Amino acid sequence: MVYVFIFLALFVLELLYFRVADRLNIIDKPNERSSHTTVTLRGGGIIFYIAAAIYFILSGFQYPWFFLGLTMMTVISFLDDVFTLSNKLRLLVHFTSVLLMAYQLELFALPWYFLLIGFVFAVGVINAYNFMDGINGITACYSLAVGGLLMLVNQEISFIDQNLLIYVMLGVLVFTFFNFRLKAKCFAGDVGSVAIAYILLFALGALILKTGNIIYILFLVVYGIDAVWTIVQRLLRKENIFQAHRSHLYQYLGNEAGVNKLLVSFIYGVLQFAIGCLVIVFAEKEISEQIIFTIVLLIGLTTFYLICKTYVIRKFVQNS
């Protein structure tokens, strides 16, 4: 019953945010990166932070440094959604927030290179998660997949308070109700994509530190393949990778190829969940088997991705 009450409370709070966003004109206008053609409310993903805040209060203020970092990340992202802040200020807050997460995870007690690797990885994932938020439902489906995988593993290993994951996933479900539509009621905005990336990264970091097994990074491999190869391809074309664009595979599929955008989002989520289940299985096997699995998976996904993207570009982009 507690979870039902939390879900209903989050639902009401999301509706209240819509009224505020509508009054303050917090909207998402179509641009060169957009896959939508109509003005839509922005920042609906703030419900992810609200869900985490409810957990923080009800849990007796668990994970305070993490929550402080999440708050900083959420505030600066929300302000950026509304006013468009300077990149330097935004990156400074992002870096500080990641350091707070690292402190909560006690990475400072480990050799310095663990902190450096974790820092670079976290900043990269947060930005990639934000870049991948480009069509209806993709942030919702992918976050439910990754969050579901973390909850499954947490039942067996107990690396984090399960209620944190449950509350946040209830927030994602609320957002999904309004976003997983052909004409979305709202978009996550930077505040949503950045917040959920930060939360999932914290849980993933706790899992890797608890088990000492880095294979769980593959819980993010589908986004990773699309984000990394898109950056590589844009660099090869000598494009500014910091400018808005619509050159991810999911964008080509949903826009140029005309595939139903909700189907594309659903496939991304289901594919990641299926791969994640295999990761959970191989996490129990010998390290040699894990390495072979990882290599085969990365080569297979990359090959499929490049073939699929090349086909879509040649058939639907170059001929348009």
Burial of 83 (C-beta count, 10 Å sphere; 0-12/13-18/19+): exposed
Contact 77, 194 (CB under 8 A): yes
Q: What is the CA radius of gyration of the chain?
A: 19
User: In 135-247, where does DSSP find H-type helix?
Assistant: 138-157, 162-179, 189-211, 221-236
Alpha-carbon gap, residue 136 to 229, rounded angstroms:
22
Amino acid at 69: G
Residue 179 tokens read as 């976003």
136 is in an annotated binding site: no
Q: Is 130 labelled as part of a ligand binding site?
A: yes
Query: CA 22, 27, 28: angle at the middle one, nearest 5?
Result: 155
Terminal Cα distance for the chain, rounded: 53
- Rounded to whole angstroms, how far apart are CA atoms 262 and 182? 7
Which residues are annotated binding-site positions? Answer: 130, 190
Which residues are annotated binding-site positions for Mg(2+)? Answer: 130, 190
